[in-house]
Structure 1
């Protein structure tokens, strides 16, 4: 009975978590690229990192929170333009190679020790150095803990109720914007490009320009996810590397690409699965067979196997429509 309560508590914590919200937001942005437009972007973590750095560096150098948000979004938009203008004529695997290389450039530059006075280098930028103004905006007490059922978190500081509330509000807003955009003529054109861009081009549409707009939109949403992630932790380049993008694809494909709520559902299920699996292994597998350091690695192995099976047997995910899915646009 205690073990079942632990599963309930940890699963609920995964749903509440601002980290889950951050991944849901970034996956919504990736859904704009991959699910709706057919762009195989393997560099979404780069957009998250730019958003996090833009927010943190601006505040650390004396700027207000609102300016940090604008700088982070602008950095992501500029990166999308620099990346997209020369490369969006590429398709499929070639675009994937370019985007993953571009994201790696962002990560390596961020971790360069010669830039440590600005980016913090490999150590990154501690959250305490830029989260003060965000905490000050909280309507809740600035210190102390608050308990709802079995879940206890700080009111405002760190990974708090305030951050979770803001994170999920941003996720809901992003989902609403995507829902409205892809019901508009612009969104229908984007869907058409995913299905057959030559047919859309024959109708007089500038396919190249639409793709750039989609890349910018998804990148900006990804930057918002990076900001939420950074406000709950720190800005550390290796924390938002290649693995992050692959996890975003896992959440997107699990929930369903080209659906509004697919990225959100996928984030819920992914993080619940991870914490439940760790609980089960900790409870039933002796430490002589698998120690605490090996459990996360074993979890990622099973996630990888699960992703392969998902792509093979249900590529449309839980909410997706297989007729709408296009892997090689």
Structure 2
């Protein structure tokens, strides 16, 4: 029982990680590209890296943080223009080839020894050079704390039956939330919205009750950076919710399903695609800035694999859904850690060492992605009708 609790606590820590929130923000941008517009952008990591570089280089050279954020967005904006101008009039597979190549160019330029004074080359830019101003904004104070001090250890001394009942209730709540989201009626009407909001709050409180996680208040990877990261993820989700419900959002869906029909209505398809590429890229840049707040800017940490992780999270949660990117990101990273810890705890070292469990977790995740694409391509929250892409 204690081993299971240890594994679940590790999954909870990974689910709350600022990197998980950063990837969720980038996946929200990728959802605009691929999910709503049908653009096969395979270079979202390039937008993330440019956002991180613009943010970190500006601040490390003495500029205020707000200018660093603007420079990060500006770099992603220019990248989207340069990337989209020659390719958005072509078929989607050409865009996939160009974007993955462009993202690799950005990564190799960042690794170049010629730019060591700006990008730090392969070693990157240490977080100490650009995160001080962000930590100074914190109103969480010093020291450390657990978000909800009252947890399962305060009930019957943390007996096994308390945890088992709590896990059963948590699973039931999660299943109910997912079913409500899949029904499409989660936020229709005041009563439905209030009930769904209450269910979400109860679910979050229950998870913190079962899996207490203490962190520093304002450390390198403390509650402050987690609060900002997940607050931005929720804000981005709200922005996309409003965008896709607008006439512009309906145009995106129309382009995804049949861009010739949209063109016959007199709409400028190229312009709308460019807008979608820029907006999704700006979300990616924001994700890159958040990604490096608790670490350092290293080009290899935002390479091809990160784009593939984003696609995995998007397909897992459900493309062309509002909450799919966040759900998919949390499940992807928490699930991988759960597989890793489970293998380390129950598989003998003679069969698999602790170092090999890392690779094993990615293998299992890759197999799971293959099964999802085969048997449930719409993901957990998605709809099969949303997968009719004109690419």
User: TM-score, normalized by length of structure 1?
Assistant: 0.98
SS in 1 for 2:85: helix
The 1:277–1:327 alpha-carbon spacing in structure 2 relative to 1, beyond 3 Å, is farther
* Contact 2:59 2:130 (C-alpha < 8 Å) held by counterparts: yes
* Contact 2:259 2:390 (C-alpha < 8 Å) held by counterparts: no
Q: Would you say 1:299 and 2:361 are equivalent positions?
A: yes
SS in 2 for 1:87: coil
Of 229, 239, 251 in structure 1, the residue corresponding to residue 301 of structure 2 is: 239
Aligned position for 2:63: 63
Aligned position for 1:14: 14
Moved over 3 A (4+): none
Aligned position for 2:131: 131
Aligned position for 2:382: 320
* Contact 1:158 1:232 (C-alpha < 8 Å) held by counterparts: yes
SS in 2 for 1:231: coil
Aligned position for 1:75: 75
Q: Which has the larger radius of gyration?
A: 2
Aligned position for 2:334: 272
Q: Would you say 1:195 and 2:257 are equivalent positions?
A: yes
What is the CA distance between 1:93 and its match in structure 2? 1.9
Aligned position for 2:98: 98
Aligned position for 1:121: 121
* Contact 2:23 2:310 (C-alpha < 8 Å) held by counterparts: yes
Aligned position for 1:282: 344
Deviation string for 1:171-215 (max 9, x for gaps)? Answer: 111111111011111111111000000000000000000000000
What is the CA distance between 1:116 and its match in structure 2? 0.5
Q: Would you say 1:223 and 2:222 are equivalent positions?
A: no
* Contact 2:41 2:100 (C-alpha < 8 Å) held by counterparts: yes
Of 197, 201, 204 in structure 1, the residue corresponding to residue 266 of structure 2 is: 204
Separation (CA, whole Å) in 2 of partners of 1:129 and 1:5:
37
* Contact 2:42 2:96 (C-alpha < 8 Å) held by counterparts: yes
What is the CA distance between 1:301 and its match in structure 2? 1.1
What is the CA distance between 1:328 and its match in structure 2? 5.4
Of 248, 255, 264 in structure 1, the residue corresponding to residue 310 of structure 2 is: 248
SS in 2 for 1:293: helix
Separation (CA, whole Å) in 1 of partners of 2:358 and 2:91:
35
What is the CA distance between 1:327 and its match in structure 2? 4.8
Farther off after superposition, 2-11 or 190-199:
2-11
Separation (CA, whole Å) in 1 of partners of 2:318 and 2:104:
27
Farther off after superposition, 101-110 or 267-276:
267-276
Separation (CA, whole Å) in 1 of partners of 2:383 and 2:260:
23
* Contact 2:257 2:390 (C-alpha < 8 Å) held by counterparts: no
Deviation string for 1:300-327 (max 9, x for gaps)? Answer: 1111111111111111000001001135
* Contact 2:255 2:390 (C-alpha < 8 Å) held by counterparts: no
Deviation string for 1:30-84 (max 9, x for gaps)? Answer: 0000000000000000000011001100000100111101110111011000000
- The number of aligned residues is 328
Separation (CA, whole Å) in 2 of partners of 1:156 and 1:113:
34
Q: Would you say 1:39 and 2:42 are equivalent positions?
A: no
* Contact 1:40 1:328 (C-alpha < 8 Å) held by counterparts: no
Separation (CA, whole Å) in 2 of partners of 1:11 and 1:298:
16
SS in 2 for 1:233: coil
Farther off after superposition, 214-223 or 93-102:
93-102
Aligned position for 1:88: 88
What is the CA distance between 1:107 and its match in structure 2? 0.3
